[in-house]
Chains A and B, each alone.
Chain A
Amino acid sequence: MRGVRWLLLKDLQILRRSPLQAVLLVAYPILIAVLIGFAISRGPEKPRVAFLNEVPTGTRINVGGQQLPSSNVKGRICGRVECIFVADREEAEEKVASGDALAALVLPADLVNKINSLSTLTPGVPKVEVLVNEENAVKAELVDDRITSLLAQANLTIARRIGAEGSRYLDLIVNGGDFKVLGETIHILGLATSARILEALVPTLPKDLRPSLEEVIEFASQARDNLDVAKPLLDRITQPIEVEKVVVGGESPPLEIFAIAVAATLTLAFVVVLLVAGSLALEREENAFPRLTRGLVSTSGLLAEKILLGVAVGLVVTLLMLLGMQFFVPLELGRIGLWLAAILVAGAALGAAGAALGAAAREVRAVSLLAFMVTLPVAFLSLVPSGAVGPAAFDAIRYFTALFPFKPALQAITAALDEAGPGIGGPLLHLAVLFAAYAAIARLALRRFASV
């Protein structure tokens, strides 16, 4: 292995002597990685929506002559989208047409009156107006989703208010209490109190009148019990279906940790694969391979040297990147041992794959292009989640990506960064198998290099 040390030194000298190439080799993957990580980690921005509220100030929703408390519609809407308050309809249209706002939401002046009419004999249809600019399909889809969501939220809010008022009335009927109407307070006796009064009267009545009174008491008692049951029913009507999320598999770490893992794996993959493939092809391009393997260094030694070079540079770059990320997202530095294990094993498997690619072509440029053409789609396919494509396509993607070290490398680095994810053992074993397979392929392919 004496020769490996000097070849490693030589490759580092060549890298140092090509600063632009070295910077590109490191900077480009980091740039791609950071951009992808950034895109994955950020949820969609709040869409900008022009908001025109024509409803007169102080107008409240009434149910059965009772005014409901303010629903703070403006606050609720503007909590979910970024509101641009506009003075009139023309301004709203201008904002949407110019693209300054994704859509405009207009609450017409008669909106509350129409909502209030719902509890009358002549109900109207409350409507809100949405102005959209469907200049492209993606934008149109986004607007539709947001508006549908907002409308469902508004309907739910109103239904809950109405339901709460209904429950209060029911409570008055069952248990009695004070009720304000037209500025006067009326005392409602309630079914429970009525029943108690009647029960007290029963002994004082002639025996022939008692059965009739007892029937009234029985009715009051049954009505109270049944109306009590109606209260939770009324609550349920406002939101008949609730969501209970149960995680049945695929425990995952927080999104920002996953994004960092993606960025780190991309960086490691590009640096290692390109460096190993390129430096191996360089031996051929410089005609040095036959001279080296003519007793100066064994083919396996040369292969080991290239993988070692890739792993060493990949380790430094990936570690620096992770430590840099530490300023933005706190990572558990106590798990650095696992980071190192994941990066080293993943780097070795990626390096072996790079060596197999490097042995496939003669020129460094051709090999670099090949490495990009293989690594990039594999990386993107490895990020396709289940459910995003059909089951057959996903199975095909799963089997295909399992043949390359990127996905297990991503799994290993994710597991190393955060304990919430799956264990690190499986991915490391997978990487070890891929390392052995690709090293064997590279060893076979290098036989071609020996020819003059």
Chain B
Amino acid sequence: MVAIIGPNGAGKTTLLSILAGISRPDEGEVESPSGEVGWVPQQAALYRRLTVEENLLLFARLEGHEDPRASAAEMLELTGLGERRGEIVARLSGGNQQRINIAIGLLSRPAVLLLDEPSVGLDPRQRSRLWEFVSGLAGRGTTVIFSTHDIQEAERYGGRLLVLADGEALFDGPPEGLREAVRREAPGAADRDFETAFVAYLHHRGH
């Protein structure tokens, strides 16, 4: 799991949308065969007046699955929402809507899944269940690239961290490496909590 972290306006969503093929880069290239990258936007991109199952069926059909019902059933099992398949999405909690949002992104069976701030607006319990679900995907072999501005979330779930600020990549490496960089470049804040030390690090780097 790769975490992209940085303050608001750092370019996290822009980077993900470029990787997803939605936005075009000003320069550089993204190499990824079409269909192998699943994209889950920050705000749930699904139809709130349809049921959970109708949403999954619709996107499975649009993906051209041979047996859309089987694909929808598979996703219902994966998300643990099988018993709520007939519920209108608008009546579900934000966390459950996000799980369906991710499940729709998984319908294309991507090797890489892009998650744009998936835990925004969720309460701690919903967050915990969401990350349990995402970690399960990573455990089954899916590469997950997610963005967040929560440093602790990134440190806890990201095996690799990419720090962005104002469109500049400040760090790319494991969480321990980031701690080391923070201690090295912002020694005055090294004995404070990691989030405060990280802010001091960004400040030291001119952001």
Contacts and interface: CB of A to CB of B under 8 A. Distances in A.
B152 interface: no
B62 A450 contact: no
Interface in B11-66: 13, 17, 20-23, 34-35, 39, 41-50, 54, 58-59, 61-64
A295 B45 CA distance: 15
Contact of B45 (A3, A7, A18, A288): A288
Nearest to B105: A291
A14 B44 contact: no
Nearest to A292: B62
Sorting the interface of chain B by its residue count into under 10, 10 to 19, 20 to 34 or 35 or more gives 20 to 34
Contacts of A152: none
Given A6-B62, A291-B41, A292-B62, A450 B22 contact: yes
B34 A14 contact: no
Interface string A425-452: 0000000000000000000000000111
A80 interface: no
A294 B22 contact: yes
A368 to B, nearest CB: 16
Contact of B22 (A2, A10, A288, A290): A290
B104 interface: yes
Contact of A294 (B21, B44, B54, B58): B21
A2 B45 CA distance: 21
A286 B23 contact: no
B189 interface: no
Given A294-B20, A295-B34, A287 B41 contact: yes
Interface centre among B44, B45, B88, B104 (most CB of A within 10 A): B45
Contact of B23 (A3, A13, A292, A451): A451
A252 B78 CA distance: 66
B88 A452 contact: no
Contacts of A207: none
Interface in A1-53: 2-3, 6-7, 9-10, 13-14, 17-18
A17 B20 contact: no
Contacts of A295: 21, 34-35
Given A294-B21, A295-B35, A288 B46 contact: yes
A188 interface: no
Given A286-B45, A296-B59, A14 B50 contact: yes
Given A286-B48, A295-B34, A296-B59, A17 B43 contact: no
A2 B41 contact: no
B64 A287 contact: no
A297 interface: yes
Nearest to B34: A295
Contacts of B59: 291, 296
Interface of A is mostly: helix
A296 B63 contact: yes
Given A10-B50, A14-B50, A17-B49, A287 B44 contact: yes
A296 B62 contact: yes
Given A291-B41, A295-B35, A296-B62, A286 B22 contact: no
A13 to B, nearest CB: 6
Contacts of B50: 10, 13-14, 17
Nearest to A451: B23
Nearest to B59: A296
Given A295-B34, A295-B35, A451-B23, A14 B41 contact: no
B21 A2 contact: no
Nearest to B40: A291
Contacts of A294: 20-22, 39
Contacts of A14: 47, 49-50
Contacts of A296: 59, 62-63
A452 B22 contact: yes
Nearest to B50: A13
Nearest to A293: B22
Contacts of B46: 286, 288
A288 B47 contact: yes
User: Among the interface residues B21, B43, B44, B49, which one has the most CB atoms of the partner chain A within 10 A?
Assistant: B49
Given A286-B48, A452-B13, A10 B58 contact: yes
Contacts of B64: 2
Interface hub of B61, B63, B116 (most chain A Cβ within 10 A):
B61
Given A3-B62, A6-B62, A294-B39, A286 B104 contact: no
Contacts of B104: 291
Interface string A284-327: 00111011101111000000000000000000000000000000
B45 A291 contact: yes
Nearest to A452: B17
17 contacts: A6-B61, A7-B62, A10-B50, A13-B49, A13-B54, A14-B47, A17-B49, A18-B49, A286-B48, A287-B45, A291-B45, A291-B59, A292-B62, A450-B22, A451-B23, A452-B17, A452-B42
Which 9 A-B pairs rank lowest in CB-CB distance, beginning with the nearest?
Answer: A287-B45, A296-B62, A291-B45, A6-B61, A287-B43, A14-B49, A452-B17, A17-B49, A288-B45
